[in-house]
């Protein structure tokens, strides 16, 4: 799926939000302000939460599966090149190395 199609699908799933927005002009003593208010039913809030979680977890899951697939492929290619270690040992080494990279990047991510 290309980015334009993904953007279009994301746009469609959030199309209902502008329908529930209302602009209110607040004429104060010194300034004029416009407020954007949104009133949604409980079912609409549940739908919004579902859509937001879906847009987060589907790409996250795809990335995790891709990472696992790449690690298995690399371990398999290393096994065919260096057969003195078993495939399982190659896989464990690559998993440990990948986890070490992630854990070493965590402090930078947190900061």
- Tell me the C-alpha distance between 35 and 60, whole Å: 35
pLDDT value at 1 more than 70: no
Mean per-residue pLDDT over the chain, rounded? 85
- Tell me the C-alpha distance between 97 and 84, whole Å: 19
| Predicted local distance difference test score (pLDDT) of residue 22 | 80
| pLDDT band at 80; cut points 50, 70, 90 | very high
Higher pLDDT, 20 or 50: 50
pLDDT digit string, tens, across residues 5-46: 777 777 888 887 777 788 888 877 677 888 888 887 888 889
């Amino acid at each position: 799926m290309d980015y334009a199609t993904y953007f279009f699908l994301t746009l469609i799933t959030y199309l209902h939000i502008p329908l529930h927005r209302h602009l209110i002009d607040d004429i104060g003593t010194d300034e004029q302000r416009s407020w954007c208010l949104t009133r949604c039913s409980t079912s609409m809030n549940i739908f919004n939460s579902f859509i937001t979680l879906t847009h987060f977890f589907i790409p996250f899951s795809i990335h995790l599966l891709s990472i696992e697939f790449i690690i298995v492929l690399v371990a398999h290619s290393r096994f065919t090149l260096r057969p003195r270690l078993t495939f399982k040992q190659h896989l464990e080494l690559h998993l440990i190395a990948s986890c070490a990279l992630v854990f070493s990047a965590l402090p930078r991510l947190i900061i």
